[in-house]
Structure formats: C-alpha cells, structure tokens
Copies of this chain bind each other. A is one copy, B any other.
Amino acid sequence: MADEKPYHHGDLRAALLAAAEADIAEHGIEAFSLRQVARRAGVSHAAPAHHFGDAAGLLTALAAEGYRQFLAAQLARVRVAGDGPADRIVASGLGYIDFAMARPALFRLMFGSARPDHCEAELNRAAGDAYRHLVDIVTSGGGRTMADEAAVWAMAHGLADLLSAGRLTPIAALEPAARDAVLATILRRIVPEKP
C-alpha cells in the first residue's frame, strides 16, 4: 500500500523501456514521443531525461535490449534443432524471423531506424554478440567465404524484414507449422554446400 503515487517510482527505467516498446508497437516508430511515453509510465514529461539523457538514449537502450532478445530467439530455435550444421543454420534463421514477426516495431528500431545511436557501447556490444552468433553458425555449418556469410544473413534478414512489414502475405497467412516448413525450405537453399 501507500503506493498511490509515490514520489520515487521504484523502477522507472524499466517502466519507461516497457512503455516505449508498447508505444512504438501501437503507433510506430515515426510517432514516438518522449512525452507520450512519460504519460504512459505516469511520470512528468522530463522524468525520462534523468535515466536516458534524451530520446535517442531511451531508444538506444531499447534497441540494445532488443538485440539481446533477438539473439535469444535464435538460440531458442537452435536448442531444439537437429545437430546437423545445416539444421542449425536453418534454425537460427527461423529464430531471426520469429523475432521480427513477433516484435516488428522493435525489429525496425534495430535495423531500420537512425534514431538509436548505433555507436553507443552497450548497443554496439549487443549487436556485435548477435553478429558473432551468425558468423559462428555459418562457419560451423561449412561456410568458408564472405559470400556464404552474406548469403545466409541476407536471406534470413530479407524474409524477416518483408514478413514483419506485412509483405509476403501468402506466407505470413500460413499457420505457424506450415509457415516454418516453407521458410525452412527457402533457408535450406542457401546453406553452403559441404566441401
């Protein structure tokens, strides 16, 4: 009790991040408003500045958290996939697409927006971790060249971006199991040939 309106929020930082993601999920990144997010979290319009500096700081922190969950989505798929190197590449691609379809606004913030500061240390590290996972998966799957890596990344990213943007509707309309099957077939096409 006694929590009707405590002066100190408790965990305002986390609340603001959650409010920001809800806001961009509802209205899109273009309509993002720091004051709107503050209202949603029930604090004054200048409260976010103390935790994030400015609007770019909040979106940067949100994108960094996004990259961590993005990597987790890929690892979750890999964990339940077969042991073959091709299976792991396909599974990782499906995780890539899972995340993009489940959190389209966050995905666009990470890959299609200039508002986060992509040079900031925490965001850079989170994005680097995800990239290193990609390289590991591809090289352990027999990939040798720069083209192998680019092909796998671009295929997963292209499917994820188009699907999360509401294109490729015939595939997006499939039920999950059938959709996974089609996407796995496509992803398997560009798995580097075993030597």
Contact = CB atoms under 8 A, between A and B. Distances in A.
Nearest to A189: B190
A53 interface: no
A158 interface: yes
A121 interface: no
Contact of A112 (B115, B157, B165): B165
14 contacts: A30-B114, A30-B115, A111-B161, A111-B165, A112-B112, A147-B185, A150-B162, A150-B182, A151-B155, A151-B189, A153-B168, A154-B168, A158-B158, A158-B159
Interface of A: 28-30, 108, 111-115, 146-147, 150-151, 153-159, 161-162, 165, 168, 170-171, 182, 185-186, 189-190
**Chain A binding site: helix, strand, loop or mixed by DSSP?**
helix
Given A30-B115, A165-B111, A171 B146 contact: yes
Contacts of A30: 29-30, 113-115
A111 B146 CA distance: 26
Contact of A150 (B108, B150, B161, B168): B168
